[in-house]
Amino acid sequence: MTKITIAIDGFSSTGKSTVAKQLAKHLGYVYVDTGAMYRAVTYYAIQNGLINKEDFNKETLVYQLQNIQVNFKFNETLGFAEVYLNGVNIENEIRTLEVSSFVSKVAAITEVRRKLVEQQQEMGKNKGVVMDGRDIGTVVFPKANLKLFMTASAETRGKRRYDELISRGDRVKYEDVLKNVQDRDYLDSNREDSPLVKAKDAIEIDNSNMTLDEQFDKILNLVKMAL
Ligand code: C5P
């Protein structure tokens, strides 16, 4: 069967990764969580004292990009690939509110994007890939066979991210999580390099009032039409 490229973009916490994982599993495709790659670089910057509340040493981060290797390794038990930074599994560490609060600043740096986009294009070059992020249908794979643009109300998204963090055992306040989701959407949509915009040929899916099954069925139909 022909393999296609599926690009899923959209605002924070719109459930992109959930549906991307479901699709990849169902189709036997590779799933690439590009947000995890930007989070990994951000985690590196925090760990190495290059970024904190008062200060952000962009020049040093750009200089040190050559020391940063981000990879994925498939975890059979979980059924998806986990992210590694320089050989260390950091799948849990990158999901904190601290990383979320700096990631959009790191993702706005052109040199960071250039490095990660090149790697993403390499990972998807043989098709049979579901990739989610903010610029997949516009920059990474502008010729993707199917482009989806996910949306949901800010409150729905804030609640989803809050529930996710609480279930991990993180002690966070709903207001802080909601603010982070809104701040990231603003920064991601207004940066100069590869801002978050809906590609002209993307299909918009507002899943505020959809169950996961409804969403999956709807998207699987779109995939069948694109095959
Ligand atoms: O998808 P996730 O919410 O984990 O992404 C974290 C952040 O990484 C986004 O808020 C955005 O700043 C950045 N990102 C990006 N381009 C992508 C994927 C993520 O700029 N393709």
202-212, pLDDT tens digit by residue? 999 999 999 99
Q: How far is the CA of 104 from the centre of ligand 1 (A)?
A: 7
Is the separation of the CB atoms in 219 and 23 below 8 Å?
A: yes
The pLDDT of residue 52: 85
Q: Is residue 144 part of a domain?
A: yes
Q: What is the pTM of this model?
A: 0.96
Q: Hey, how many other C-beta atoms are within 10 angstroms of the C-beta on 124?
A: 22
What contacts 226, CB < 8 A, 6 or more positions away? 4, 6, 145, 146
Q: Is residue 198 part of a domain?
A: yes
Strand partners, 88: 85
Q: Is residue 65 part of a domain?
A: yes
CA distance 1 to 139: 26
Q: Is residue 227 part of a domain?
A: no
What DSSP character marks residue 223? H
7 pLDDT tier (thresholds 50, 70, 90): very high
CATH number where 23 lies = 3.40.50.300
**Substitution candidate for ligand 1 out of 102, 121, 165, 188 with most atoms within 8 A of CB:** 188
Q: Is residue 225 part of a domain?
A: no
Q: Is residue 32 part of a domain?
A: yes
CA distance 181 to 146: 26
Q: Which domain holds residue 83?
A: 5-216
Tens of pLDDT, residues 94-112 = 999 999 999 999 999 999 9
Q: Is residue 211 part of a domain?
A: yes
Q: Specify the residue with its C-alpha closest to ligand 1, atom 6.
A: 35
Tens of pLDDT, residues 158-187 = 999 999 999 999 999 999 999 999 999 999
Q: Which atom of ligand 1 is the closest one to the Cα of 108?
A: 20
Q: How many structural domains is the chain composed of?
A: 1
- Evaluate whether ipTM surpasses 0.90: yes
Once rounded to an integer, what is the mean pLDDT over residues 115-140? Answer: 98
Tens of pLDDT, residues 20-60 = 999 999 999 999 999 999 999 999 999 999 998 888 999 99
Q: Is residue 85 part of a domain?
A: yes
Residue 218 marked ligand-binding: no
